[in-house]
Chains A and B, each alone.
Chain A
Amino acid sequence: MSAAAEISGREASRPVLTVKGLTIQVATPEGAKIVVEDLGFTLNHGETLCLAGESGSGKSMTALAIMGLLPKPMARIASGSITLADGTELTGRSERAMRKIRAQRISMIFQEPMSSLNPVMTIGKQLEEVLLEHGMCSRSEAPARALDLLRDVQLTEAEKRLAQYPHELSGGMRQRVMIAIALACNPEILIADEPTTALDVTVQAEVLELIRALQREHGTTVLMITHDMGVVAEMADRVVVMRNGKQEEAAPVRELFAAPKTAYARELLAAVPRIGAAPTRPELERTRHTVDVEDLCVRFPMRGGLLNRVNARLHAVEGVNFRIAPGETLALVGESGCGKSTIGKAMLSLVPYEGSIRIEGQQMAGLSPHALKPIRRNVQMIFQDPGASLDARMTVGKQVAEPLVVHGLASGSELQDRVEWLFRRVGLPADHIDRFPHEFSGGQRQRICIARALALRPKAIVADESVSALDVSVQARVLELLRELQEEEGLAYLFISHDMAVIDQVADRVAVMNLGQIVESGSRDQVLRDPQHAYTRRLLSAVPFPDPTRQRPPVIAREGPVGSPVRPLDDPAPRFPLAEVAPGHWVAGDAA
């Protein structure tokens, strides 16, 4: 940070990339649509410029235009210029000319490293290919150069990685490999398009730290595209806020966060959830429990060998207990693969499980589908991706009506009235019921999913990453709707999320999961303000903080190797008993 600041101080006026009057058109069935309009900015040597904005703001299109990677023939640059430091004009170049510039002068990393890596080539071969393609070294030097590059991006066991295939690496490691490939030819400019959005928060922190370190070392200029204001605050020197293809505001990061000039930037920043900023929630009377889960275990058999017999088990959830009172929100937090979504699915009887799940006092475990059906009404689920959880070929009205029809609760005009009422209840016009899911925006679709979940008047709702796919401003409104519904109906929420800041806003209590077990649980303030378990502290230390003046604490390193939830049949998972450190605050100790 300080080195970068020094460079930008010394060479502040040396632009390496200038974008002027950039306008991008996309052909749609309804005719040409302008997705980026008259955009201009300069990228100065050694700095990090963030293009920030919500989905549809045109930020990714801008990045693709600079790289000459706009999807052809749908999108094209209608006007404007993109020039490098030496005056090289990038618009209107042939594919061959652009290929030279890509990798050598500008390179790019994408959100999903798996889809940018070739799955049938080893990491080493892919690195060498880039080096040789651009004549960075001779064939004999290539393996050694590739190894250096992997060491540069701080990949552990670099020698071993060279011979591995992309699927053998974790998401964070893959993104490191992508960065190594992007930096292979020492480009002047690195464009990072949502580079950490698909990663866990601790991995995100590591990758961001890596980008900063590489930038310090090589003096690379970074153009970062992100929707996450926390990432902006941590990374940016300057920010361009975009909306609907137009620049809303451009300012140095501290100025922007301290005093946003435009109304949109103010709105956007206000919508960003911040840890510790949420008001305290009223204390609930916890006399009875809507949800009571005891000793929940979910183990998936893993088959293998000649006879395809079960030879190991994946212990997705191991001995989990929790209760949720009416009107209470329990947040389940953890990194991907920790088993939090599996708990949600078990609550809906979507996966086989052992243990006891009682909703409103009624035991759900071990029931036949027929006996389960009436009890199912009490618990419903809202999934992460509203696009995937709606049937694309059925009108939304029919889909919201379906639970009522299936349970025989309403028919005819009564059904129609109930569906319309549900639509209005979630803030959608009732005359939209005849439309199909693709005619709605992401936030509206999630409202439809909420309406469907509410149709049976459940007592408990499992919300599995229900706002993660939404833009912050939309997210804030959906969370507000969920809160309202909870207050009015006394709903118990199991709120599953990886986003600590969102959890801070909505949760009464928090349970932190790691490797299928709860390692810490307690009230929101106990767990988030006074974390006791090492894993919780590590998670919290990695959360990007939307305040550029705050000095980021170093990410706490992982203690010991990453455990695996896959175990042989005769090897039961060690249980970590919880001990009460304060009233209601439980922390896991060592294995019993």
Chain B
Amino acid sequence: MSETAAILARPARSRNVAWVLRELLRRPRSAFGLIVIVILVAAALLAPWIMPYDPNDQMFDGLSLEGAPLPPSSRFWLGTDLLGRDLFSRLILGTQTSLIIGVLANGIAIVLGATVGITAGYFGGWVGGVLMRFTDLMMAFPALLLAIVLAAIFKPSLLIVALVIAMVNWVQMARVIYTETRSLAQREFIDVQRAIGSSTWRILGRHILPHLVYSIIVFGTLGISTTVLLEATLSYLGVGVQPPTPSWGNIIYENQTYFANAPWLVFFPGMAILLLALSFNLLGDALRDTLDPKLKGRH
């Protein structure tokens, strides 16, 4: 089988990664999203080297003489927090947390959602019925409540928070994939595969999954912004990422009481969340437009 692949596989013309990138950079909105994401990812990766201060260092000169946090200045670009820690450094480290959770939680949600969706969509029958009713049940359950309950049961850690978010987020993916798989399964070229005698695994892997890849990429990208928002919400509620590890959500949570006196402590992390969610949404929309063969009129 791998031999066939080696002999007959050639990259799809005009649909490779370079082409998609060019398309994305050509449009102002997706170019903006892509550039912001690249900057944020770079910030997360290079955090130890670009943070001006130790994010957990409670600096003596980080507070005013009265013990109040300092507003943005040339020394502390985004000001300091209640304990005299540099906000800019904490935000950079928070980028790491947010992106790790975004990618991890979303990855789990995609795998789980796609598996459930494909199984239910292709096999149908009672298996599909049970799976999709369960999905409906999960959808009807208040997501935030579920996340809080799960987070309260397990001791919050980065992995647990990611898992909790995935448990809430896989449902949408399952629904989308289910619908697409169902319509694919009824297409003639799948009948042809059955007539040839292809195994179910082969049909799923070689003829169903490739058609779903684009949806998965698009909804995966859009899902990251929901994930980041949910992480921020959970952290804000105190059941997410635990201090002293900074996350954008818990920075707001820690500092909210001083909003009136030190608005920058809420404003900057809030802007960071907004920027990340917006960028992933812009990128996701643009990916859908670029990759959807129905919109482009070509397969």
Contact = CB atoms under 8 A, between A and B. Distances in A.
Say whether A and B bind each other: yes
B197 A373 contact: yes
Contacts of B298: 438
B75 interface: no
A394 B196 contact: no
Most buried by B among A389, A393, A415, A449: A393
Interface stretch (A76-84, A149-157, A187-195, A395-403): A395-403
Contacts of A350: 191, 194-195
Contact of A385 (B13, B188, B196): B188
Contacts of A401: 4, 8
B8 A433 contact: yes
B189 A412 contact: no
Contacts of A415: 3-4, 7
Contacts of B299: 392-393, 436-438
B7 A406 contact: no
B192 A452 contact: yes
Interface stretch (A240-248, A376-384, A539-547, A577-585): A376-384
B155 interface: no
A383 B188 contact: yes
A450 B263 CA distance: 71
B195 A397 contact: no
B189 A389 contact: yes
A363 interface: no
Given A390-B189, A406-B202, A438-B298, A395 B8 contact: yes
A277 interface: no
Given A372-B197, A394-B210, A406-B202, A388 B188 contact: yes
Contacts of B13: 436
B1 A405 contact: yes
Contact of A402 (B187, B188, B194, B196): B196
A403 B4 contact: no
Interface in B153-189: 187-189
B179 to A, nearest CB: 18
Interface residues of A, number: 42
Given A383-B192, A395-B10, A406 B207 contact: no
Given A348-B195, A376-B195, A391 B9 contact: no
Interface string B105-117: 0000000000000
Contacts of A406: 196-199, 202
B197 A405 contact: no
Contact of B7 (A373, A380, A381, A416): A416
Contacts of A412: 3, 7
A393 B211 contact: yes
Interface in A212-247: none
A394 B7 contact: no
Interface in B1-40: 1, 3-4, 7-10, 12-13
B137 to A, nearest CB: 19
A437 B298 CA distance: 11
Given A388-B187, A416-B7, A394 B198 contact: no
Nearest to A392: B299
A380 B197 contact: no
Contacts of A411: 1, 3-4
A398 B189 CA distance: 13
A435 B13 CA distance: 9
Given A373-B197, A406-B198, A434-B10, A394 B206 contact: yes
A376 B196 contact: yes
A407 interface: yes
Contact of B9 (A348, A349, A373, A398): A398
B67 interface: no
Contacts of A452: 192, 196
Contacts of A394: 206-207, 210
Interface string B198-220: 11001000110011000000000
A437 B13 CA distance: 12
B293 interface: yes
A415 B192 CA distance: 20
Interface of B: 1, 3-4, 7-10, 12-13, 187-189, 191-199, 202, 206-207, 210-211, 293, 298-299
23 contacts: A345-B191, A350-B195, A383-B188, A383-B191, A385-B188, A389-B189, A391-B207, A393-B12, A394-B207, A395-B10, A402-B193, A402-B198, A403-B196, A403-B197, A405-B1, A405-B4, A406-B197, A411-B4, A412-B3, A412-B7, A436-B13, A438-B298, A438-B299
- Enumerate the 9 nearest inter-chain pairs by beta-carbon distance, A residue then B residue, closest first: A392-B299, A388-B188, A389-B188, A376-B197, A348-B195, A373-B197, A398-B8, A403-B196, A393-B210
